[in-house]
């Protein structure tokens, strides 16, 4: 049986205000062609289908057109689980209808956990695979809050909650397998942050409470799992050196920090008890480039791109010794009449001067919510010994806000 592992599509994501629908459409078209060409029987989408919990009509259209295209192929199955960016209720709303298209959706932790253990039949209609479709586990799904508990207590409860959830779902899968005529592989899904996981600046992985504090170790997952398809981290990687616990990573670079990564999806083939895992590179549908240095270096790089006929989106990081107050105007003039587009300009010289008390060109694009909170603590002269506890509480508040589902009534 051939399985495709992908995650973190983030349909609808923008990059410094630039819409990226053409990229998402090109990727989903390429993915559908790959599924047909490789005769892939099961597609696993391990969370973060959309970039936010209220996707636009255009983003929804791309998602449903992809599902319809795959469903039109004979004997294909798609399993979709929610990530932290997704609205569980939005994904779940059409799931009973989608079942008729062999699309299995798990937007939130099931009340009866055996329902997360999905038996997949092959082309001969006999069971060939069991998928433990575990979505992103929100705090309320796995932990009971108690007054006065410490951060360590909360983290321990979250990890134990994740461990218990996987144990119960996998036990249900093993019980279902015992009723079948022959043993079948058990594949699990997850959307979480494993201990030691790699991230990069600007990859869009939010500093969630569960994601940042409760990083889970591989011993959380039961040994009955033959392959674990993970989402949440955008860097494709093995977990704990295992070939069978993998992040597929995001198929598109979510920011300039990911521009040099080779993006891909994972083809998992079970021919016996051991899965064979192959990375399939995803084409680059929109080139992203970071140009850094002084004006002479940056101008030379732009000229080189112009000669190539490049249509790249550019991030400019100015590191020259001069202040270059008219940098943006010079850049716009340099790319005029080309297919190049500048999405961000970061003038490090101005920022250095700002740190010395001069007027700053820094914007909110240069800060995340944690940076802003730290600045507030400093501006209000909150004693430094209180910062760790306040930052921890703030992260928990931010996490609960991200976990709230605005589509839920």
**DSSP-assigned letters across all residues of 97-151:** HHGGGTEEEE-S--SSGGGGEEEEE-TTSSEEEEEEE-----HHHH----TT--H
The reply to whether the predicted model has a pTM over 0.75 is yes
Predicted confidence band of residue 370 (pLDDT cuts 50, 70, 90) = confident
CATH top class, domain 2-281? alpha beta
Specify the pLDDT at position 212: 45
CATH architecture under which domain 289-403 falls: 2-Layer Sandwich (3.30)
Specify the pLDDT at position 351: 54
Span 105-155, pLDDT tens digits: 999 999 899 999 999 998 788 999 999 999 999 887 777 666 667 777 788
Predicted confidence band of residue 405 (pLDDT cuts 50, 70, 90) = low
Q: Are 221 and 242 in contact (CB under 8 A)?
A: no
Tokens of 221: 């997952």
End-to-end CA distance of the chain: 40
Specify the pLDDT at position 29: 98
Better pLDDT: 264 or 381: 264
Span 154-188, pLDDT tens digits: 888 888 999 999 999 999 999 999 999 888 999 99
Instruction: Indicate whether 311 pLDDT > 80.
Output: yes
Better pLDDT: 218 or 181: 218
Specify the pLDDT at position 189: 98
Specify the pLDDT at position 353: 53
Residues above pLDDT 70, as percent of the chain: 86
Instruction: Indicate whether 373 pLDDT > 90.
Output: no
Domain ranges within the chain, ordered by starting residue: 2-281, 289-403
CB atoms within 10 A of CB 48: 28
Instruction: Outline where 205-259 has alpha helix (H).
Output: 209-212
């Amino acid at each position: 049986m051939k399985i495709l592992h992908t995650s973190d599509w983030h349909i609808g994501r923008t990059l410094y205000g630039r819409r990226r629908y053409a990229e998402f459409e090109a990727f989903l078209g390429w993915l559908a062609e790959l599924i047909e060409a490789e005769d892939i029987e099961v597609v696993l989408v391990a969370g973060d289908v959309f970039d936010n919990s209220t996707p636009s009509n255009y983003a929804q259209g791309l998602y449903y057109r992809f599902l319809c295209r795959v469903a039109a192929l004979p004997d294909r199955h798609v399993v979709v689980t929610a990530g932290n960016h997704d609205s569980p209720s939005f994904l779940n709303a059409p799931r009973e209808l989608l079942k008729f298209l062999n699309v299995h959706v798990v937007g939130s932790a099931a009340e009866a956990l055996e329902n997360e253990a999905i038996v997949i039949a092959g082309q001969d209609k006999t069971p060939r695979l069991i998928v433990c479709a575990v979505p992103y586990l929100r705090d309320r799904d796995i932990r009971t809050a108690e007054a006065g508990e410490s951060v360590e207590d909360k983290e321990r409860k979250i990890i134990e909650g994740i461990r218990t959830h996987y144990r119960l779902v996998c036990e249900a899968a093993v019980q279902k397998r015992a009723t079948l005529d022959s043993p079948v592989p058990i594949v699990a899904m997850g959307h979480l942050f494993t201990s030691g996981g790699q991230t990069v600046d600007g990859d869009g992985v939010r500093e969630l409470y569960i994601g940042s504090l409760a990083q889970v170790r591989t011993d959380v997952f039961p040994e009955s799992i033959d392959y674990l398809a993970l989402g949440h981290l955008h860097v494709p990687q093995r977990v704990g050196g295992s070939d069978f616990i993998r992040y597929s990573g995001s198929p598109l670079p979510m920011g300039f920090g990911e521009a040099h990564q080779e993006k891909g999806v994972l083809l998992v083939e079970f021919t016996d008890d051991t899965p064979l895992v192959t990375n399939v590179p995803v084409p680059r549908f929109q080139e992203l480039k970071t140009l850094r240095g002084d004006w002479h270096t940056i101008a030379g790089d732009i000229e080189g791109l112009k000669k190539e006929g490049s249509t790249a989106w550019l991030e400019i990081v100015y590191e020259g010794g001069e202040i270059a107050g008219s940098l943006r105007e010079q850049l716009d003039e340099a790319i005029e009449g080309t297919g190049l587009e500048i999405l961000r300009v970061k003038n490090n010289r101005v920022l250095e001067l700002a740190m010395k008390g001069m007027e700053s060109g820094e914007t909110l694009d240069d800060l995340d919510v944690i940076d802003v909170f730290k600045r507030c603590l400093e501006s209000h002269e909150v004693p430094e010994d209180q910062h760790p506890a306040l930052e921890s509480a703030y992260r928990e508040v931010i996490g609960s806000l991200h976990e709230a589902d605005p589509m839920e009534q």
